[in-house]
Structure 1
Amino acid sequence: MIGASNLRTRQGSGIYQTGRERVVQILETALEILIEDGYQALTLREVARRCKVQIGAISYYYKSRGDLLQDVLNMVLAPYGENFKAIRHAKGLSPEEKLVKLITLLLEDIQTKKTTRLFPHLWMLANHDPFVAKAVDSIYLLERLTFASLIAKINPHLVDEERETLAVFISASIAGSTMFIGFDKPWSKGLPLYRAMTCRALLDLVRTITPDQLAAYGWRREDLEPEWRTPTILSDEEHAELIASVRAENALPEAAPKRAAG
Structure 2
Amino acid sequence: MKRARVAYAGAIHEAVEKDGRLQLNDGRMVEEQEVVWLPPVEPRTVFALGLNYADHAAELAFKAPEEPLVFLKGPNTFIGHRAETRRPADVEYMHYECELAVVIGRPARNVKREEAYDYVSGYTVANDYAIRDYLENYYRPNLRVKNRDTCTPIGPWFVDAEDIKDPMNLTLKTYVNGEVTQEGNTKDMVFDIPYLIEYLSSFMTLNEGDIILTGTPKGSVDTKVGDEVITEVEGIGRLVNTIAGDDTFSIRSSSKEEASKLTT
User: Would you call these one fold, judging by a TM-score over 0.5?
Assistant: no
TM-score for the superposition, normalised by structure 1: 0.26
TM-score (norm 2): 0.26
Task: Please state which structure has a larger fraction of its residues in strand.
Answer: 2
RCO higher in 1 or 2 (8 Å CA, sep ≥ 6)?
2
